[in-house]
Amino acid sequence: MPRERGIERDGTEALRALGWWQCKVGYDGWPDRLVIWAPGRHFWWEVKQPDGSLTAAQKARLPRMRASGEPVFLFDSRTEFYEFLEILR
């Protein structure tokens, strides 16, 4: 299994264990997942391998999302993702 898929799978399981809603997006430059973690609180997450790079569509869309106030995060390891979740909890 490619590393990105493994990180995304494990992250999705961690989100389910917390009872947080999430849905797969990940097309046309959208981040991999949208997560709703509290009333009125959400974030987008994208997983890349340490040597991975954003697609051309992501390079165009993600800055526009951030400029409009959308919280978009990129993770390249399980540890990084789990540390982020601990901050939110």
* Pairing, β 72-75 against β 41-47: parallel
**Whole domain around residue 74: which residue ranges?**
3-88
Asked if residues 34 and 65 have their Cβ atoms less than 8 Å apart, the reply is no
β-bridge mates for residue 43, sequence order: 35
Q: What is the CATH number of the domain that holds 47?
A: 3.40.1350.10
| Residue owning tokens 């982020």 | 84
DSSP secondary structure code for residue 73 in this structure? E
| CA–CA gap between residue 78 and residue 47 (Å, rounded) | 10
Q: How many domains does the chain have?
A: 1
Model confidence over 6-61: pLDDT tens digits?
888 998 999 999 999 999 998 899 999 999 988 889 999 999 887 788 999 999 99
- pLDDT for the residue numbered 17: 93
What is the rounded CA–CA span in Å between residue 14 and residue 4? Answer: 15
